[in-house]
Amino acid sequence: MSGRMGEVATELVRLIGRQATLKLITVSAQQRNRGNRIRAILYVPGTPKPEHNFAKLIGWDAFVKLCEAYGGQIIEPCLPEVLYRAERNQVIRRLAHRGVSLSDIAQAHGVTERTVRYVLAANDALDAAFEGDARARAG
């Protein structure tokens, strides 16, 4: 993934974790059509308050971190589909590492073997952030 939207999503995963990022973008981000592209837009309040919807959605600690990093700003993370793709890619890499065949991986994820090969060859920052978050939770 390239561009500022990917950078914001990657930073969100590192800052508040994968699940909180998925919830925040999937539930709260407004999708706006800008030109020929749809973008997710999210306003982060400057001051965290316990009654805010984000606090209820992602938890108080994650909400405070979010406000400290982006308070008072409108951010444009990637669309939820991109985050789900990054999570799928992480699973594909894990299965390949365990020796599962490319055809079995492709069939399980509803993609082609070519897509599996592409995922295994790619070095995506958002995928890496998801992988790092998963390791942190396991360790």
pLDDT in tens, the chain (139 residues): 344 556 888 899 899 998 898 888 888 777 666 666 677 888 999 999 999 999 999 999 999 999 999 999 999 888 778 778 878 888 999 999 999 999 999 999 999 999 999 999 886 666 666 666 655 555 5
This model's pTM is above 0.75: no
Calculate helix-pair angle for 102-109, 80-97, nearest 10 degrees.
150
Terminal-residue alpha carbon distance, the chain: 27
Q: Which residues pair with 33 in a beta bridge?
A: 38
Residue with tokens 């030109």: 35
Cross-sheet strand order for the sheet of 37-44:
30-34, 37-44, 73-75
Q: Tell me the C-alpha distance between 77 and 43, whole Å.
A: 11
Q: Tell me the C-alpha distance between 27 and 88, whole Å.
A: 19
